[in-house]
Amino acid sequence: MPFKTRITDLLSIQHPIIMGGMTGVGTAQLAAAVSLAGGLGIMAIHNSGKPEQAQKDVQLLKKLCKGKPFGVNLTILPSFDPPPYDEYARIIIEEQVPIVETAGSNPKKWIELFKSKGIITIHKCVSIRHALKAQATGVDIISLDGFECAGHPGEEDIGNFVLQARGCQELSVPYVCSGGVASGVQLAAALALGADGVNCGTLFCATQECNWPQSFKDRMVESKETDTVLMLRRLNNTCRVIRNVVSAEVEEIESEKGEEFQISDVMHLVSGKRGREAEAKGDPDGGIWSAGQSVGLIKDIPTVKKVVDDMVTEAESVVRTRLNSLLVVQSRL
């Protein structure tokens, strides 16, 4: 265990590496693989759908982790037909989940509820002002998401080289660098910038344990850091997804419509149903799927354990060898 940080201590994990909750791919099996490798795996409970299935999935996660720490993600988003958030929260508490990651809307209600039950809380934020608000509610750890991230990077477009350094200036609670992280060099850099670890999503999608079809994983290996698309920007609901036939069409429609662009113009392209169908068919051009700019760093499809081990080994080498070699010993004469 070459790295000991505030989050390795607080979360009782071997390495300062977290897999945050992800729609679709954030399964009990993938989360457990990360926890067993010495990091913290987090299952997205909304993937389960009905509360009965959610409870079974949490129980499976506990079993698969074999006593290792694990977490559950609760993402709260505005919706005409919202998921059963209160039921999900009840299950989290009932099943004695040790760590909860929240994301989306104001987490105050949920942070207070979970902390009252002794649960460690993590909240995803894409800006310092949101992070400070979350810190004020009593959250234990901030996941500070830079503009490079997959999914929803927010609307402020702050990359991690600045965002993490600002976190060091402003935050008193531990925080992890999230967005675009897929190498040990970046883990070392995140620690140098003041973060207590990293959160990875896209990286763990490119593993043998991920439930994505091989064709999706092959597309990730083929992709460069420029092969993502920011869509729905005109709606202030920016999403970063892989560049493919469908996302290119969305990008074109949004550009052509300009200020008149509405979600109804592309709903047939961006619907979750279409995305799930594309996954089922193994068609990487059949629907929308999320990927961060870190996709350009992915060169193979290893096991989760190899991903974690290689990241830690590389980060340790950077700190002990490269950075140490740059220091000039001052003469005492």
Opening angle at CA 277, ends 273 and 280, nearest 5: 140
Distance between CA 55 and CA 58 in Å, rounded?
5
pLDDT digits (tens, 9 = 90+) for 94-133: 999 999 999 998 899 999 999 999 999 999 999 999 999 9
Residue 78 pLDDT grade (very low, low, confident, very high; cuts 50, 70, 90): confident
Mean pLDDT of the chain: 95
Tell me, what DSSP letter sits at residue 210? S
Q: How confident is the model at residue 105, as a pLDDT?
A: 86
Report the SS3 class of residue 183: coil
Tell me the pTM.
Answer: 0.95
Distance between CA 86 and CA 289 in Å, rounded?
28
Q: How confident is the model at residue 79, as a pLDDT?
A: 73
Helix axes 184-192, 304-317, angle to 10 degrees: 50
